[in-house]
């Protein structure tokens, strides 16, 4: 898969670790910053990643900040983006199967590195489900047509 990954200063260290793992597993990675632990603004990096997902330049996105919350709020401002905050592996699985999430937002300060890596692995490995779930996602897409310029 082609995956965009971005973080703020709070997520920088975890971003570096995750990028290393993803490259080893032969994914194509687009790093949208930030490039250090210097304080920066999470919306800037959420926007860079979400834009790439929105225009179809990448298959999926990963965003990391202290909690994942600011990243999720920002990323969901982009058309076609379904960004999810996942607290555990079950939510990671369901966010793919039921919600067709295309961006995962991780909280580097909210969970351990090991927990975040497990959540991410499940999310990356889980395909979307069709049927009633696809119909529900189509309703989300239809709301975007009505509400997004
Ligand atoms: C930065 O201090 C923190 O606010 C940010 O990483 C994130 O948690 C915001 O949602």
Mean pLDDT of successive 10-residue stretches along the chain, which has 149 residues: 98 98 93 98 98 98 98 98 98 98 98 98 98 98 92
Residues 6 or more apart whose Cβ sits within 8 Å of residue 50: 61, 63, 74, 75, 76, 77, 78, 81, 83, 103
CA of 65 to the centre of ligand 1 (A): 5
Alpha helices in the chain (DSSP H): 12-24, 42-54, 69-75, 89-97, 113-125, 132-147
Sheet of strand 28-31, all strands in order from the earlier edge strand to the far edge: 28-31, 2-7, 60-65, 103-107, 83-85
Q: What pLDDT is recorded for position 28? A: 96
Number of H helices, E strands in the chain: 6, 5
28-31 and 83-85 as β-strands: parallel, antiparallel, unpaired?
Answer: unpaired
Ligand 1 pocket test: pick from 12, 66, 75 the residue with the most ligand atoms within 8 Å of its Cβ.
66
Active site residue 86: no
Helix axes 113-125, 89-97, angle to 10 degrees: 20
Q: What pLDDT is recorded for position 22? A: 94
What pTM does this model have?
0.97
First to last CA, the chain: 29
Q: What pLDDT is recorded for position 26? A: 86
Q: What pLDDT is recorded for position 52? A: 98
Active site residue 65: yes
**Does residue 75 have its Cβ closer than 6 Å to ligand 1?**
no
**Which atom of ligand 1 is nearest the CA belonging to 9?**
6
Ligand 1 atom 3: the closest Cα is on which residue? 66
Name the active-site residue from 65, 86, 100, 105: 65
Q: What pLDDT is recorded for position 109? A: 98
CA-CA distance, 21 to 25, in Å (whole number)?
A: 6
């Amino acid at each position: 898969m082609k995956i965009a990954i971005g973080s703020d200063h709070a997520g920088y260290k975890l971003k570096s670790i995750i990028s290393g793992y993803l490259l080893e597993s032969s994914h194509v990675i687009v790093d949208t910053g930030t490039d250090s632990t210097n304080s920066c603004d999470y919306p800037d990096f959420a926007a860079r990643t979400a834009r790439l997902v929105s225009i179809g330049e990448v298959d999926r996105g990963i965003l990391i900040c202290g909690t994942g919350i600011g990243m999720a709020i920002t990323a969901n401002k982009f058309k076609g983006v379904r960004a999810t905050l996942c607290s555990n592996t079950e939510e990671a699985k369901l966010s793919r199967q039921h919600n067709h999430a295309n961006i995962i937002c991780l909280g580097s300060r909210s969970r351990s590195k090991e927990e975040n890596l497990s959540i991410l692995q499940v999310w990356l490995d889980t395909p979307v489900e069709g049927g009633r779930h696809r119909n529900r996602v189509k309703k989300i897409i239809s709301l975007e047509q009505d509400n997004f310029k």
